[in-house]
Structure 1
């Protein structure tokens, strides 16, 4: 999913200072594509904490009624230096990209796109046609992870995984979509490729259920609560909030109160590099981001090839082109008026 803010702030992201206990990160509402478009709830990045492991972006959206609207419509747009992680609770999203992928993602399935040196893609609610009617509700999360320096310019690629490890135990269902997680004496391992030590999992708890997760003590973790009466290590976590825990504990306890809980657990080793993130780009310097924007804009031109808005020969350029989307690509917003430099994280 694109960051469709018209004036995105340039974020200097680095691992924050360690927190004691459970730290709550509240979401802010961000309209995607204007006031009549869907609104997402963004928990990272923010001033208090911009990264959890290599996780650098978390948008939480829905449930949205898309039965009488166009639903999600995110035109072709570029990325560098990251992986996009699409995870749904309800509905369907159709993904197209410049490496030739055409893939629908559904609940319990993973779409993972590695941008590397440059990729472009679109996401949309599938069109209802004769013999097919798309699900009426769209609900999920869009997550990004930072690629480490040695992988940030890798060849772009795309993976879809429809058969991910899952276990049901004592009123709790756990499905791991990235990395690995020990649960009830078994280790659930996702087949998806990651470039840094990470975990991503959906947790579903019946009312009154509890689970003790044996986690890597070198990881920091975040628990995003989508629904229900949740507690993390005894601390209440409101719906829509992201609860953070610093490295150290070897066990995390998630508990459901009177209502069933659905949550997403993310985590990883504290990311050892500082990055500059603006719009849909993740780089190491301001100049890297400026160059990516210039390369994208150089690919866009007046509708000279049937109204798609791509310059001639765009398929052979840095971000390629997305074919099949009914509309032209997004133009990049104006750059901010200030130049930011990465800063070292506290204590480094």
Structure 2
């Protein structure tokens, strides 16, 4: 759902993928063997099921609904993800790191519990990152950022917004009306900076993510699993992964096969 042709980032959020539910006749959608990242943080948020995260730091961490895995790549990290209990449904989010941290060390955080709020309309909010209505998540942020999971009943809700942030609403369940537009699963509602609040109407129970942040202010280059600033950086990361450069990408403990990178389209054929 992000990036799209007309929008590359919302704040530092640069990738949103809503996963599942799995079709019983097909392979599980979360069997992703060892693969690399640079220049970003991955935020894994589950709606149903369980998943096992492993990475080149030696981490092995099961994640369940209501918990957050936040992995920061910096100069380079490898990881794998495996669905541990069906049915599986979740959201994979990427956060672009700014110039000040994207060349730095990699890291991993698991947050077994996150701040939760009861809203005046009988809805509820879970704060993944940043702060919302006075509650703050302990999860790392490298830029001014917010991520909230909201469940609301039928009716109207007014969301308080930081006027310095641009925002997106990602619908997970139900149907919303946002600023006169109907938003259904599979669509983003994008909001420019400058708004202090947003009326949202649901015609039944609904669940959605509110993502936002200060405009990144840096043009990013994304290809495959890498977030950089130009093709040369992307090429260097590609070659380091393909050459099994353990200084940049240490081995990942996983039962799944390692994923080779596709050849970048801007490189000449080796033949």
How far 1:105 sits from its partner (Å)?
1.1
Residue matched to 2:95: 145
Residue matched to 1:33: none
* Residue 138 (structure 2) pairs with residue 191 (structure 1): yes
* Residue 222 (structure 2) pairs with residue 277 (structure 1): yes
Deviations 1:143-194 (A, max 9, x none): 1010000100111000000110011222211111011111xxxx12010010
Distance 2:177 2:58 in 1: 43
Equivalent residue in structure 1 for 2:210, among 256, 265, 271 = 265
Q: Is the 8 A contact 2:19 2:29 kept in 1?
A: no
How far 1:327 sits from its partner (Å)?
3.1
Q: Is the 8 A contact 2:20 2:29 kept in 1?
A: no
How far 1:54 sits from its partner (Å)?
0.5
How far 1:71 sits from its partner (Å)?
5.0
Residue matched to 1:335: 264
How far 1:214 sits from its partner (Å)?
1.6
Q: Number of residue pairs matched?
A: 267
- TM-score, scaled relative to structure 2: 0.94
Partner-residue secondary structure (3-state), 1:44: coil
Distance 2:140 2:256 in 1: 31
Q: Is the 8 A contact 1:75 1:328 kept in 2?
A: yes
After the TM superposition, list the runs of 4 or more consecutive aligned residues in structure 1 that deviate by more than 4 angstroms.
Answer: 65-71
Equivalent residue in structure 2 for 1:78, among 10, 16, 36 = 36
Distance 1:199 1:123 in 2: 24
Q: Which runs of 5+ in 1 are unaligned?
A: 1-42, 127-133, 300-313, 340-348
Residue matched to 1:172: 123
Deviations 1:92-148 (A, max 9, x none): 11100000111111111100000000000000012xxxxxxx2x3111111101000
How far 1:328 sits from its partner (Å)?
2.6
Distance 2:58 2:198 in 1: 40
- TM-score, scaled relative to structure 1: 0.74
Structure with bigger strand share is 2
Q: Is the 8 A contact 1:65 1:137 kept in 2?
A: no
How far 1:285 sits from its partner (Å)?
1.4
Rg larger in 1 or in 2?
Answer: 1
